[in-house]
Amino acid sequence: MLKVVVRQAVALSAVVACLVGSEAPCAAADAETDVRRFQIEFETGAIWQSRNEIHIPDSAVGTRFSLADIQDSTPIVQRRVEATWHPARRHALRFVYQPLGFSGAGSFAMPVLFAGGTFAPGAPVESDYKFDSYRVTYRYLFYESSTWRLSAGATAFIRDAKVELRQAGSTATDSNVGFVPLLSLNAEYRFAPRWMAVVDVDGLVAPQGRAFDAAAKIRHDLTDHWSVSAGYRTFEGGVDNGERFAFGWFHFAVVSIGYRY
């Protein structure tokens, strides 16, 4: 199913690229943007979770519990890679891969029913949580000045999620791959030569759930090609569709290095 969804997202991005690629060159095109149409950014830093509630199945044969309560609260290292292509001055296609996972051991205070398994209170239980995301974003630059750049568009968000519990040789697992459309916004404010404040948001609320990935960073251009950034990222959301209830809130203290050409 993941392969099918990925092929659909890639096909959609190819169509958008063909449409924006046919745009006639703009006489007022920015020379630097034309020369450096590709950007890649590697992000890493510490991540911790403040909420991770699970109820699968979301009925009387399941129990709502918190993975954050039974896993180690120590921040772990995360990573993210982002590549952007500018087929024309005001158009951008962004590709993002962001793995996210936690593992830990603890115990429940009461009996827990999860994905067909039964887990006793007081006994050690091991847990794994995965929420990897793959994204394709199209954005249009609708406002530009000497200090501000504002862009908006849409993101095709593909999630690959998995929760697993293990206790005394018994294992229960629930995995899910799904597609979610999100709105996408980006704001850049150049407050000094080679210094810029950046706010980047993907998000949407629907009856079945919500998803928000927002970052606020300060970027410094080391050269015309290389840059470094630091800031805060948060990811919050989940699903509540009658079969699954799963909501998490994760926090990132991040640094990144970027290269554009």
Task: Provide the 10 A C-beta neighbour count for residue 20.
Answer: 17
Q: pLDDT tens for residues 209-218?
A: 899 999 999 9
Distance CA 234, CA 12 (A): 27
pLDDT beyond 80 at 3: no
CATH classification of the domain holding 109 = 2.40.160.20
pLDDT of residue 169: 82
Q: Average pLDDT for residues 97-123, to the nearest whole number? A: 95
The domain total for the chain is 1
pLDDT per position as a tens digit, 203-250: 999 888 899 999 999 999 999 999 999 999 999 999 998 899 999 999
Residue 10's pLDDT is 39
Cβ(1)–Cβ(177) below 8 Å: yes
Domain extent for 119: 2-260
Q: Which of 1-15, 118-132, 158-172 has the lowest mean pLDDT?
A: 1-15
